[in-house]
Structure 1
Amino acid sequence: MEIFPAVDILGGRCVQLVQGRRETASSYGQPLSSALRWIDEGATALHIVNLDGAFGSAGANVDVIRELITETDVFLQLGGGMRSESDATGWLSLGVDRVIIGTAAADDPSIINRLSEEHGSERIMAGVDARGGEIAIHGWEKTAGEVSVWAKRFEDEGAGSLLFTNVDVEGLCEGIAVDPIQRVMDAVKCPVVVSGGVSHVTDLRILRELGVAGAVLGSALYNGMLSLPAILEEIQ
């Protein structure tokens, strides 16, 4: 199981939000400093989120993300603000290893197929954000149907992997909710990375038992509830 420390970027700073609300942001300094810290502690992959992009400014933080690409040597997956094929292609051309397509895929699932054909399915991850068991889109403001159905649709369109985020528990540091994850795992065969609520080693043990391919660590890592070296030792 791959561990992805999160480096969420808002206004050029590394932050953590609670359930995606901008007003809850806690700042943790320069994104590169956080990235290098997690790499120094053993991370081999990072989960980058362009929050300004998610909030509507797709071109924001280009210089910051470019710095992460050039100054690190680990696997980078990037989400936030991928509103079009050109957005995704631009980031892939810049050097991101994998892009995460969320709302754009829900609006037009065939975008997954076209990007996978052009860049390879291993570089295209579909974002499956869930709230109350339904897919949450447009900044988690709207829902659009059963999450497992959407997960299967994205897989059928050619997504090489899925990022499942449970909005209901994201940022609360109160643990994962197993049932929504299990429904997605039952619906697809492609690798699934889980984000949202991972707060204890027990959560990671459960995810491993469920067979997930990876886990994103955010708030609990930044506030000290989780220790990255201890987690990496545990899963190995």
Structure 2
Amino acid sequence: MTLFRPCIDLHNGQVKQIVGASLKDDPTSAQTDEKVLRTNFVSSYPSSHYASLYKKHNLTGAHVIKLGPGNDQAALEALAAWPNGLQVGGGISVDNAEYWLNEGKAGKIIVTSWLFPQARFSEERLKQLVEKVGKERIVVDISCKVKDGEWIVAMDKWQTLTDMKVNAESIRMLESYCSEFLVHAADVEGLCKGIDSELVKKLGEWCTIPVTYAGGGHALSDLQLVHDLSNGKVDLTFGSALDIFGGSGVKFDDCIAWNKANGQV
């Protein structure tokens, strides 16, 4: 059964909701991406506020994503509010994975960019990460953009397309090395104009391990839509549409009620 999975997106140390396609570096700006960034919401609360809220309602599988530098402290504050209850991603590599799991108290680490040196997938790096922390604590982020009718994994805050297509073959290979997938549809992330239905359907067909989809969710009915498209195999994250992030399309309390009605204690 499809469940609601929450998130904490961090940018410059603050909890934000960002239009994914706008998250890029501007070479004319001393503040890197600030001149081109489209932000839907900037929270007045610290990251720990949201982590505590998710813990209170047992909303497992929440991902804390560090979008660029300057977010480590905010991520640590969130993880401290729910030790071993959250997943953390953004700048994760074989060198710091143990730190985030042990000292940081993350339940799982989420990895993308480090697996793609020069934007080319390295199976050897993924094997090293499995040897270091074990596949059961690894989430592979295959967030993607559409190019020529295919989904291509995007790295570096979704700026750079890699050499990996999201398809049955790549999913099957990656499942040997991880316990979950996280998939942002970067083209619709933050727009609140609807999910990538075809991607959700394909993820339901291809994936045999848990997978969380994010991008474009705008109404509570999207939970039922994702369930129907994926046969209940894909979970859904709401971001900018959620009332706790300044949105008007989806009430957080309704998401809690959905999860309780569909098996999450």
With the length of structure 2 as denominator, give the TM-score of the two structures: 0.77
Identify the match of residue 90 of structure 2 among 80, 85, 89: 80
- Partners of 1:40 and 1:48 in 2: CA distance: 17
CA shift at 1:218, angstroms?
1.1
- Partners of 1:104 and 1:150 in 2: CA distance: 17
Superposed CA RMSD: 2.2
Larger Rg: 2
Identify the match of residue 105 of structure 1 among 115, 130, 151: 115
After superposition, what is the alpha-carbon deviation per residue over 1:94-152, rounded to whole angstroms, capped at 9, x for unaligned?
A: 21001111122243233333323332322101001111122222332232242114333
CA shift at 1:73, angstroms?
5.3
The worse-fitting range, judged by mean Cα deviation, of 169-178 and 41-50 is 41-50
Q: 1:81 to 1:124 in 2, by over 3 A?
A: same
Identify the match of residue 216 of structure 2 among 188, 197, 201: 197
Partner of 1:219 in structure 2? 240
- Partners of 1:190 and 1:204 in 2: CA distance: 19
- Partners of 1:190 and 1:41 in 2: CA distance: 24
CA contact (8 A) 2:84 2:105 kept: no
Identify the match of residue 151 of structure 1 among 164, 171, 179: 171
Q: 1:160 to 1:4 in 2, by over 3 A?
A: same
Q: Kindly, what percent of the aligned residue pairs are identical?
A: 22
- Partners of 1:33 and 1:225 in 2: CA distance: 21
CA contact (8 A) 2:217 2:237 kept: yes
After superposition, what is the alpha-carbon deviation per residue over 1:130-186, rounded to whole angstroms, capped at 9, x for unaligned?
A: 111222223322322421143333213x11111111112111001111111222332
Partner of 1:7 in structure 2? 8
Q: Which amino acid aligns with 1:97?
A: G
CA shift at 1:200, angstroms?
1.3
Q: More helix by proportion, 1 or 2?
A: 1
Gap runs ≥5 in structure 2: 24-32
Identify the match of residue 152 of structure 2 among 124, 134, 137: 134
SS in 2 for 1:164: strand
- Partners of 2:16 and 2:53 in 1: CA distance: 15
Q: 1:138 to 1:183 in 2, by over 3 A?
A: same
- Partners of 2:173 and 2:76 in 1: CA distance: 32
Partner of 2:27 in structure 1? none
The worse-fitting range, judged by mean Cα deviation, of 92-101 and 62-71 is 62-71
CA shift at 1:206, angstroms?
2.0
Q: 1:65 to 1:142 in 2, by over 3 A?
A: closer
- Partners of 1:186 and 1:104 in 2: CA distance: 27
Partner of 2:29 in structure 1? none
Asked if 1:92 corresponds to 2:111, the answer is no
Q: How many residues align?
A: 228
Q: More strand by proportion, 1 or 2?
A: 1
SS in 2 for 1:66: helix
SS in 2 for 1:35: helix
Q: Which amino acid aligns with 2:202?
A: R
CA contact (8 A) 1:8 1:51 kept: yes
- Partners of 1:45 and 1:152 in 2: CA distance: 22
